[in-house]
A and B are shown apart, each in its own frame.
Chain A
Amino acid sequence: MKNLKKILVCKIALLMVLILLGPASFSAQAQVDEIRIADGKGDWGYPNPYRHYPRGPGYVRMSWVFDTLVWKDEKGYTPALAKSWTYNPDTLSFTFELNESVKWHDGNPFSSSDVVFTVEYFKKHPYKWVPMGDVSGAEAVGPNKVIIRLTKPYAPFLAYVGGVMPILPKHIWQNVKDPKKYNDPKCFIGTGPYKFVDFNKAKGTYLYEAFENYYQGKPLANRLIYIKAGKPLMTLSTGKVDLANIKPDMAETLKKKGMIILKNARGWNKKLMINHKIAPFNDKRFRQALAHAINQQEIINKAHRGFGYPASFGLLSPDHEFYNPNTPTYAPDPAKARQILESLGYMKDPQGYYSKDGQPLKVEVLSSNITVAGESVADRDGEVIKRQLEAAGIRVDLLHLEQATTDAKVKKWDFNLAISGHGGLLGDARILNRMINPKVTGSVNSARFGANKKLLKLLKDQVAQMDVEKRKAIVFRIQEIYADEVPAISLYYPASMAAYNPKKGINWYYTKGGIGLGIPISQNKMSLVK
């Protein structure tokens, strides 16, 4: 009888515990009917490698459908189509052991020949997200093993190829001559956790359905829907969406409504581009004077209500594992800026502005509304920077331009100073090459600075250095030189946040190093798997 009582008490206690914890613990892995994600812009192109827009959200739309050899989650690299991988320095090759149970969305089995085909296809028809210049080829060693060979040591291989390259089905793409014009429904067949169902261009909506036979298990939501909605506070509060990027000042309100707030690491920077090809900006000392004239914290306080962090002058984020804490810095000091300008021969006029040889020192600043995660923001940085430069004796013409116009002018070097921005500061250190190397032609965020030969050599060396510690040392030195040269000024990292409704039981997160090439968006497909 006593035992029966004990058992009864235990059962009741257990029941109580289950009732209290039950909803949370069970719902964490429960199957949900659908997940809705809001996006301010809506359309990011069709989700296949050749037809998505070349910005981060376009890649993310594609990543639900197409899997890569390896992937990243909140902790770093994780197996995907490849179960494991090794690097052989003698043969300059990566060997990938592939998962045996992978199927394409049309039911065909996946094999190493698809990987070999993809490598060859991307070499022939470049997919701009995956630079294949350092890949010499691929070879299938049995159905589930593939070797990818390099032309030379290439440290960012996993970050730029293995972890980014969507694998295409050979049986579908082998006869496609022009991938940009290929718009058969089969062009959306991948191995990813979701099958593409619809994209409405006018409404900016996407519909995906869970792939039942996904090799990592059926995804947690049966349907995944993207909707276009520029007001995350309203759409999240009213339950119309489950996940959205938010502005930092919405966080408290949404937290009170039961939402979980995600804060991203500092991976996206607003940057002041400098036209260092023309005088007076081609003089390092002048650029250093500009750096002293600018007060990063004041921009954050006045233009962003304090939501942001001053940026490193060495470009890499302080949250990056290769960040050099001894990177030179420029204290906000208008007096010091004036002192440098006077040492360069500038004379102060009665109004406090400088001129040289009878020519007033006047610069044009282009501003734009670019911000993190493909969203746009009202630009107020330009106003603050104008005041700061004027306080240092530099006259400023501030031009507010639409983004594409600013980009076009920067690209053609038709500017003095321009406010721009980019992410990727938490991903592989190859970002330094992309943002400094003068050979980069397509980007308007790159400083394209070739005046310091030592810097260029170090950039070349760091991507070829496979030893992590040696590479880190090179990257440290790059940051020091970059900060000393100031070919562009990183201004601040805006506070980047997302919010989600925990009721669906999905745990969203920001990916370590960002999705793919470093996309700072909290929509990692692994959140809906496992």
Chain B
Amino acid sequence: MNANSIHFTPRRLGLIITFSLAALAMIYLSYSLPRLLPGDFVTAMYASSPVTLSAEQEAELRAFYTQPPDFYNYLVKLVKFDWGYSYAFLTPVSALFLEALPWTLLLLGTAHIISISIGFIAGVEASWRQDSRIEKGFVGGMTLLEGIPEISTGVILLVIFALNLQWFPAAGAETAYAKVSFWAWVADVCHHLALPLATLVLAYIPGNFLLARNSMIMVIKAPFITTARAKGLPSRRIRYAHAARNALLPLVTRFGLRLAFMITGVLVVERIHSYPGLGTLLFNAIQARDLPVIQAVVLISSLMVLAIILALELVYRIIDPRIEYER
């Protein structure tokens, strides 16, 4: 990393200010939008229960569980990292969030690393063999796989590997309260991770592959590749050191955006596999109208989109020095 890449020019400062304003708008939306959901916590919790509430009891509960609208107060609390208390659990929202976050990061992070690595290498190799049977087969297969939604892949994998072969567990992130050693626990977590991870990897590889292949096809037509070939450089060096590096940029963007949408991105898979991540947390909170939890999860996910886009803007130039903001 050179010093030039982190130098904050007026243009970059302007970018940061723009992003800050966008962040403020998002904070307001994440505060106000969940309030527009029909129904409230008391109705969602008590309506279908065997409990009979008198009018006074209902009013008392509603007073306990309803926050008067006060955006300024919300903002001040936010700055102090006070996200409020979950109505359902009467515990701090931050504790709930931090309990769920590691599982989502584990699932999504691993899925991205694997799918980008495989997708990228397969894309580079396929493009290098353009018009060959292998390339056509890969493109056809990946296009087909791209069309299969995660929900189908997840269920098919469950039926084959959990129900019939019984190789992997059908639900959860670990065997609850198992009395095992640390390494046995790690193995257990990996065992539980296998199916949701495979579902996500199968869902993400095709996109990465097709993107890497398309970028490479554009790059390998460039004159500097012809020069490299003419210089007699080894094929693998041309592919990876010269061509692939230049094809990396769209993949970085894709990686960033996928990570930014991590909560909504993994929601379906977390639900199918009863995986205890942020998607499940948000889903349950919406069902229960647990407003502070919804607000916090929506806010964090929106801010994450912004932060990652901003980070991408800043790192683009490190990856590709040809990008100049000043011009």
Q: Is A400 an interface residue (CB 8 A)?
A: no
Q: Determine if B274 and A407 form an interchain contact, defined as CB atoms under 8 angstroms apart.
A: no
Binds A, one of B12-20, B22-30, B42-50, B141-149: B42-50
Indicate with 1 or 0, residue by residue over B272-297, a CB within 8 angstroms of chain A CB atoms: 00101100110010011100000000
Q: Determine if B46 and A128 form an interchain contact, defined as CB atoms under 8 angstroms apart.
A: yes
Interface size on B, residues (CB 8 A): 52
Q: Determine if B48 and A203 form an interchain contact, defined as CB atoms under 8 angstroms apart.
A: no
| Interface residues in B46-76 (C-beta closer than 8 Å to A) | 46-55, 57-58, 64
| Partner among B45, B166, B173 whose Cβ is within 8 Å of the Cβ of A238 | B166
CB distance from B229 to the nearest CB of A (A): 54
CB distance from A316 to the nearest CB of B (A): 15
Q: Determine if B169 and A238 form an interchain contact, defined as CB atoms under 8 angstroms apart.
A: yes
Q: Is B90 an interface residue (CB 8 A)?
A: yes
CB distance from A184 to the nearest CB of B (A): 13
Find the residue from B48, B55, B96, B175 having the highest chain A CB count within 10 A: B48
Q: Determine if B89 and A441 form an interchain contact, defined as CB atoms under 8 angstroms apart.
A: no
| Partner among B90, B172, B175 whose Cβ is within 8 Å of the Cβ of A183 | B90
CB distance from A500 to the nearest CB of B (A): 17
Q: Determine if A53 and B88 form an interchain contact, defined as CB atoms under 8 angstroms apart.
A: yes
Q: Is B10 an interface residue (CB 8 A)?
A: no
Q: Determine if B287 and A404 form an interchain contact, defined as CB atoms under 8 angstroms apart.
A: yes
| Partner among A201, A238, A440, A441 whose Cβ is within 8 Å of the Cβ of B91 | A201
Indicate with 1 or 0, residue by residue over A188-206, a CB within 8 angstroms of chain B CB atoms: 0000000000101111110
The chain B residue with its CB closest to the CB of A409 is B38
Indicate with 1 or 0, residue by residue over A15-42, a CB within 8 angstroms of chain B CB atoms: 0000000000000000000001000011
Q: Determine if A240 and B50 form an interchain contact, defined as CB atoms under 8 angstroms apart.
A: no
| Interface residues in A240-257 (C-beta closer than 8 Å to B) | 240
Q: Determine if B96 and A201 form an interchain contact, defined as CB atoms under 8 angstroms apart.
A: yes
| Partner among B39, B42, B45, B100 whose Cβ is within 8 Å of the Cβ of A202 | B100
CB distance from A97 to the nearest CB of B (A): 29
Cα A402 to Cα B286 with chains together (Å): 10
Cα A402 to Cα B47 with chains together (Å): 14
The chain B residue with its CB closest to the CB of A253 is B163
CB distance from A514 to the nearest CB of B (A): 9
Binds B, one of A166-174, A226-234, A282-290, A319-327: A226-234
Q: Determine if B274 and A42 form an interchain contact, defined as CB atoms under 8 angstroms apart.
A: yes
Q: Is A411 an interface residue (CB 8 A)?
A: yes
Besides A202-B100, A203-B276, A405-B39, 16 other A-B contacts (C-beta < 8 A): A43-B89, A46-B89, A55-B48, A129-B50, A202-B276, A202-B280, A203-B172, A205-B172, A228-B276, A229-B170, A234-B163, A404-B44, A422-B48, A434-B50, A443-B51, A444-B43
9 CB < 8 A contacts A-B: A45-B88, A45-B89, A56-B50, A230-B171, A238-B170, A402-B287, A423-B50, A441-B58, A442-B52
Per CB-CB distance, the 6 closest pairs between chain A and chain B, nearest first, are A442-B53, A408-B39, A234-B170, A229-B171, A407-B47, A54-B49
Which residues of chain A have a CB within 8 Å of any CB of chain B?
36, 41-43, 45-46, 51, 53-56, 59, 126, 128-129, 131, 180-181, 183, 198, 200-205, 207, 223, 225, 227-231, 233-235, 237-238, 240, 370, 402-405, 407-411, 420-424, 434, 439-445, 516-519
